[in-house]
Structure 1
Amino acid sequence: MHLKSLTLKGFKSFASSTTLKLEPGICAVVGPNGSGKSNVVDALAWVMGEQGAKTLRGGKMEDVIFAGAGDRKPLGRAEVTLVIDNSDGKLPIEYSEVAVTRRMFRDGASEYEINGAKARLMDIQELLSDSGIGREMHVIVGQGRLSQILESKPEERRAFIEEAAGVLKHRRRKEKAQRKLVGMQANLDRLQDLTDELHRQLGPLARQADAAQRASTVQATIRDRRTVLAAHHVRTLSENLHEANAEAERLIEEREYLTEQLEEHSGELAEVEEELRTALEDAESARTLWYRLSAVAEKNSASLRIAADRAQASEETAWLGPDPAHLLERAERADAEQEELDEAVEIAQEKLEGIRETVAEAQDAARQAENEHLAQVRAIADRREGVVRLLSRQEAASERLANAQAEVERSEEAVGEHTEELENLSEELAEAADALADIEGGGEELRATAEQLAREVQTVEQRAEELRNQERALEREIAGLEATITGWQERLRPTDGAARATTAAEEQGHAVSTLAENLTVSGDWSAAVAAVLGAIAPTGVVTASDDAVLSALEGSDEGRALVIESGSETKETAGWRLDVTLPAGQWLLDVIEPSHKVAAALNAMLVDVVAVADAAEARRVVAADTRLRAVTKAGSLFGPGWFAAGRGGATPAVELAAKIDQATADVAEKKEQLADLKASLDAALETTAERRAAASSAKAAVQEQRARVQAAQHRFKAAENAEESARRSLERATVQRNQAEERARQADEELAEVRDRLSRVQEPEEQEEPSTAQRDRTAQELTQAKAMEMDARLQLRTAEERAAATRGKAENLRRQARQEEASRKQHEIARARREAKRQAALIVQEQAERVGQRIADALHRAQESRTLTEQAHRQWQERMRQQKAEVNKYNSQLGAVTQRAHEAELKRNQAQLKLEQAAESAMEQLTMTPEQLLAVELPEDFDQATARKELKQAEKDLNSLGKVNPLALEEYKALEERYSFLASQLDDVQRAREDLNGVIKDVDNTILTLFVDAWHDVEEQFPRVFETLFPGGSGRLVLTDPEDMLTTGIEVEARPPGKKVKRLSLLSGGEKSLTALALLVAIFRARPSPFYVMDEVEAALDDVNLRRLIALFEELRKDSQLIVITHQKPTMDVANVLYGVTMRGDGVTRVISQRMKPLEAG
């Protein structure tokens, strides 16, 4: 068994996937410091289950993941795979090759795999423990490990031997058994507590079960007495209820009689109410007409106000701008003045030119005289200095002249360009001024239009708000009417027997309606029809023929109901009439319009009823034929020898239906008014929106015009600035040109001078001094000419300034005249438009005033009509009050009887309620119905007092038993079963604890055997290895507590040759390293491992000791694989494979390998 390969991915400095192909023998890993050699050792320890971050030379476990370096970013995980050759089967797994993989992520999550299958860390540790590799990792000797071995406690040194002996898995098994034993003890304590508690509860529960048995007998006696007493009480209450029903029926008959008398005296009140209703309708009509005329007057007033506002806003405004003709006259005068000034400038220029010619002539004469004099003087000097110097000056002067002439040409070009630019900018300035004038001229009309539209928006908004208020008022009226209609419709719903019939018909799936819904009364005969149908209209139900409805009514005591069956339906609504000549009135069937569903039934019921105007006609009709009945408009019904009159507290159903129809019509009318009002409001809102849009457009146009004015002003200012800048540039170019011309002239004069001097040098030499008289005379003449030139220049500058001051004035005046002319035309156009608007507004105002006068007259008449109708309405109200006083007198008598009937009804209900309460009490206490109680036979000698006494005694006996648990018997049985179960469980747990103690004892024996055998082997090997490393020295291992082999520690005694010390702290660094290596090699010999890893263990050794250690390596190589991290060449020489580890500037470790032919250690 040996390590076959090691693959690192993202582990520490191994950013890229790196695989080390390991071979048996000694594998040496070499490389410079910091290149990542020790990371190979850390990877081996980590993949085999190392959990300590410090052991891996880190602060936390996540430090093993590549953290980034240079341009390489940090990785998210680290992965190491170790492949082990298991061909000899030392690992307890059925594979000849075992791949162990460990993977860690940045979030701390870890994964383990064995041959690609998911595994746990414990699985890996147990797999390797059989080969002597445990958590102490004694086979991996990292940097600083040797000093830790010697400085560790004796008990810690024992762990190395245990790990090599394979004891760790047995210790883990023992620890697991001990943890189970601790947890089992807690369960055992809990079971013991529960068993004791159940045993304590069994005694009291047994006493409760006995009490429950005795209580059941007493409860049977109590139930028997309560049954007898309840039966007696129910019989007594039934007899009381029968007596109350008889009294209530008698009082109901008396109340019906008084009701008939009251209806007879209420007939006249109905007639008064009809007159009052008519007066109210007249008053409402007059009031509605007044309201409508008021609304029309308000609309006309709004139109009048808008027309007046428009007429006032369109009044003519005078033109306030200057006169264009006057401006043109001023422009003509400015042109004349400009011509005079230009002429003066030309005269001054001509004068200056003449003077300049004189000055030029004087300058030429003075220059010639001066030059002549200088030439004579220089000639004398030049003859002395020679010709060569003059020739060099002539060449330099010629070059300066050429340069000056080139500069003059460039200046001329610049002046031409600036002159052209100035002319273009002057044209742009004039165009900008014209555009500004045009734009400013159109702003006045836009502002006037915007102000007018703003006033119109305010007016139409006020009108829209008025219409909204009217709309809300009308909606409130409609809502009030609809609520009233809903209330009336609720009153029309079937009640009592009609409701029962309706429910029965609907349950059978039939359509149901009321009689009032199928009847329409024409004219003002609603009260008459209501009087005839008053008894049946509220209960009238129209539905299909069905015996189920009849059975429902016969089996119900909720009241009677009239049912019009569908079998009686007919398509003909005009019924037949009696063959009788009526002395007055008309048939009642002629004033109603029934639906086809009820036509036949109403024809049969109302065929004998005649509709008449008053009581006299009614009596005449009845007297003419006793088969007939007559009814008046007021609702009084007459028959042979009888009549019925008056009105009840509630409005009859037919009259309610008529009121609903009238209210519905009113609602429809008001909704039409509301629709008209909404249309007006929509139109007003649309007008408002249009006016707002127009006002917004006008305001936007004003703002746009202002922006255009500002833009034009900005362009004008920019053009003006650009012209000024161009003018200054032209002036600068002109100055530069003049300066260049002056320099050219000076260069030309200098060249002429030099040439003259050369010519003079070649003349015969004259020794006489030159005369200065000619020079002085010409200089004086030049001074006088320059004074005259200065005066002429001043005159020219003055004339030019005056001309420049007036230049452009005429054009500006003409431009202003054009602007004013355009503004005046715009003003005239706007004035014409305003005048047209004003005339139209005046026409509308005149028409509105005429219409307003007519509306005022109609409103006055409507007010008078309203006053008269309201007076009539108040008179009829007074008459109705008097009549109601008469009816109230009869109502008081009926009220007294009704009160007594109500009291009797209340007594009956109380008796019924007591009987129901007694029945509910019996049902709750005895679960018996009243019928069952009435069927109970009472003893002949039954005495209620004796029965109550016996019941009280039984209840006393039951109370003496105290609080009885009715479930005590069942609870006692269940508790006893649970106690038996827990007792058996307690025995099982105690036996399991004994079994665990036996397991722990067996494990201790196994550990003791393995450790003792390993200890003796290591103790035997240590002196031999020590003597190999320290020839002539001695060393041994000593147990700290030989009596306790399970926990004893191990001390190391070492005495190098020539020293008498035994304390390890007194040894040198090399001696400590060799001693620690002696201990490890002794363990390796006693319990060989498949491989060992050494990380620079020979760093502190000299050459002699290194040779001794290498000899041990070669000895170990025979049975195990060694992976050595080294810097020593002798160690490299004995290696079978050499792995070179290097790290470039990117911070990533790279590995190369080379097979070696190992040398013999010498």
Structure 2
Amino acid sequence: MRLSKIKLNGFKSFVEPTTLHFPSNRVGVVGPNGCGKSNVIDAVRWVMGEISAKNLRGGAMIDVIFNGSGTRKPADEAAVELIFSHANLPQFPDLSEISVKREINRNAQSTYYLNGIKCRRKDIMDLFLGTGLGPKSYAIIEQGMISRMIEAKPEELRLFLEEAAGIAKYKERRKETEQKMQQTRDNLARLNELQQELQKQLDKLQKQAKEAERFQQLKVTEQRLKAELLAMKWLAQDTIVQEKQHFIQQYAEKLQDDLLALDQLEDEHQQQRERRQQAQQHLEVVQEKYHHLQREISRLEQAIEHGNERHEQLRWDIEQAEETRAKTQQELQQDEEQVDDLIKKIENSSRQLSQYQAAEEQAESVLQQAETAWQIWQQQWDAFNERAQEPTRRAEVQRTHLQHLEQRLEQHRQRLQKVEAERQQIDTAGVQTALAALEAEIGEIQHAQHAAEQALLNYQNEVNVLRENIQTQSAKHHHDNTQVQRLTGLLSSLEALQNAALDRQNSDLSAWLSVNRLDNAPRLTQRLQVATGWERAVELVLGDRLQALCVQTLEEWQNALNTPPQGDLVLLSAQNNPALLPNSATLPLTPLSDKIKSPVELTDVLAGVWTAADLAEAQRYRSQLAAHESIVTAQGIWLGRNWLHSRQVVDPKASILAREREINQLAQQLTQLDQQVLTQTQALEQQRGQLRDNEALRDETQRQVNELQQQLSQIRSQHGGRQARLEHLHAQSQRLHEEKEELLQYIAEEGEELMHTRDTLHLALAEMEQFADERDQLTQQRQQLQEAVLQARQQHQQIKGECHQIDVQLQTFKTEQIRVDQAISRLETRIEELTDQLHDLQHTLRRQVDPLGTLTQELENYQEQHAQLEEQLTQARQTITHLDQHIEEYEIKRRQLSANTLELRNQLEQAKMEAQSSEVRRQTFAEQLAEIRLPLTEETTDLAKNTEPQSPELTTELGEILENISVEPKEQFYTPSAIVLLSQLPEHADEESWQAQIDAVARKLDRIGSVNLAALNEFSEQEARKHYLDTQSADLESALDMLTNAINKIDRETRQRFKATLETVNQNMQLMFPRLFGGGEARLELVGDDLLKAGVTIMARPPGKRNSTIHLLSGGEKALTAIALVFGIFELNPAPFCMLDEVDAPLDDTNVGRFCALVSSMSERLQFIFITHNKITMEIADQLIGVTQQELGVSRPVSVDIATAVDMVA
């Protein structure tokens, strides 16, 4: 790749579009001082990404734009484009020409282009990384850079070697990697903080979610248990209905036959009992013999089985022991053969080691002799140099120092004039006024922002409090609504039962009551108040009168009764009837009327009815009763002198009066709960409205805070810019003042030093002598001694390496021999142990065979006896079983036939009432089940798929379930039926235990209290976010590990490349330095041990001088040394071109000639573009580009091809 063109437009003094062509490898740029030659170097550096205005000889980056002249206006922008031919870059393998362009405008906005495509500065930097090109590369050597390079600090000089080694891109990548690592660590820290905060929220939400989930599970469990309890109640009522109907149909038919057969059954029963007693005695005798013989047989079988198992185990152990011993003997034989082989190898290696150790001692002696001879020569050479070089060095130093002092004096005077002019142009008053105004505006905005943030905080706190209150009230409102629904369902069920019990479902009767305006008349049940515990007795005595309608008088309904309705109709008058039957005064009992409070007159109905605490007390007074009198107990037993009526119900809730009391209590509770729910609803709506208002105010305040923050940021940005500008002006003024004082001091000091240097130079020139012959003789001796030392060192290293290899091999053989000997010892011990074990097993096996025959014979005898007894035992058991069956049959028949006829009639009547009540309850339970919705689970789905329907109801239910199978079960619900629920219940399920479970679940729900049901979704969302953040954290940690590994890899490659580069550049300098100086030597040395950070310093020794640091050399010597370094770097890693800006200025004609010869030789493979005033340097150029300023302040090029010009002259 070579530079073929530079296009400039508006860059510094090149105001017009200008193209500079570089067709050859040696192009010289010439012209008078100040014409703009160095602007060409600045243009190349600027395009390659230079961002320091100081390095471009300006105060700000916009200084590169043409600033106008006496006849021209300033340019608006500047542009420079570099065109490279024969690029061959890996980024653009198909392009032979690459264009790099940079533009800048008056707003200091730079734009880069690569092949006409807009790109970043980083892309340009990456393009030239490793090529030797760049804003700070060794390929561009401008004015003063030679002295800066040679006097640079070790760390700065290292940068040139890094660019040459091509590790600048590695350092850039390492820097980027470290920045990414820091960004990753910052992100990880922020992520950890976010994770911690999110974990706190998750902990709180998890607790709430668990409570909500537990609440929902308990609610589902409660619904399921209620449904199952209703199903069990439905089944109980259905069973009662079926049983009662069957009982009513069959009992009357069998009653007469059972009474006639009762006496005959008693006689037959007694005979069967006597025969069974005899059979039982015989069975016990046979059973005892049978059990004894069975125990003996079990004992013998166990003994024989244990003997057989022991015999097989011993045989298997013997086989295993023999096999193990054979394998061990084989391994022992192999190890003994391996020991013999190792002994032979150890003997051979020992002999070889002795021979090589003797050779190593001889080679080491030869090496020591050669090194001693070299040290003696080095001492002679140092002494010669010290004598011969001192006068020349002093003269050269003083001559160079004299030239340098004269140049510096002139530069200081020019700089002093420029500093004074710059100080007069600085003005800070306007900037300070603008700063004061901005600070006042910042204070006002900060005050307003603080007030808005405080208001925002207050609104947010109010919103949070309202949300918590709404959440609490919502939970309480939900709980109370649930209670209302539960109580409403229960009240509806009880009212349905009550209506059925009071015959309100009779349509004919209801129509007749409606026509006669009695449909709203109160029932006796609704007005009656009964003492606690006496409901059953009152229901028994009043009977159908509990359904009575309460009216004022019976006479007013006489006409309506001319057409009575179908069904039972009872009317009770509220008027008192004086014609009452008196109670007997002789009985010390309480009349039933004292247990009742009623608005209607019941005296005639209850006349003569007494109460007793229990049946025993009633029996005592039964004989004293009059014909119209009777006694009733609290247990529901009603008896007269010659009759008894009992009504017992399974369900206490079947009582009409108890049910009426429960209905009244539930209605009162529902009224209170409805009022409470209404109040809660109004309060919730009010709080929600207040929440919406506060949220609107909060959002508005947040918007104001954001706007104030944006205003504050903008003004602070302006303030920061003005403040930076003011500080820059103050710093610039102070710097110029200090620089002025420093320049005045330098001018005075350097004038005195100039006079002293001239005197010293005259003295040094008088002392110079020649030492040429002695130098040649010592140089010849050095070559011979170096070759001898190198040959002796190589031979010693070779013998030493071979000796070490044999010693390692010998130690390996010895270690292997020890290991095999130990293995042989272990194997011999193992063989002895296996032999002893084998003998013991064989002896045990022989003793085990004899006892088994005797045990087998004895077992066969016992088994024959066992079979005979088993047959006898079976016969005896069959006899007893047959007798027991007959006895049980007789007993059942006898109990059935013992029933009392009167009791039968009472039970028959009770069965009819209970059948009707059970039918109502069964229907009520079915209706309540229809209101319940249960989740569709996998268990229910499997049941629906695998169950064969036994009824139409089950078929319908299973069909509904199967329709939802295609959807997720957890998202589906179904209405259960009693049949499906009963099919899922365990066999021993009962209502009492299910009610206990429901009560337990209700208590758990009460203990949970108010629950945030939205916590489940919030927890799932936050948990997913937490999982995402955990994944991001793991990715960041993985990225850190990956970046750390990348840095380690970069460091390893950097060390290797830098070390190799340093060695190669040292070799190249040792070749370049004598060509430029006519002798002498120079080298680079590391300052520090770490190859990643160690600086680099130059040690140079021109001809005739002793070892010295670079700082003691003259200006010309420093320049030549720097040129030797740069060209040494070019030999290692040639850049596409090299630009030299008056580097030959401090050189005399002799050294300029050597410099030109070196450039000419290197130009065969490199492109040189040099700016010079030296005629000798101009002569080597193939093309000269002249820069002129015919128009002041505007540069124009003039190109001359030297070869063409010579041809024209010729």
TM-score, normalized by length of structure 1? 0.36
TM-score, normalized by length of structure 2? 0.35
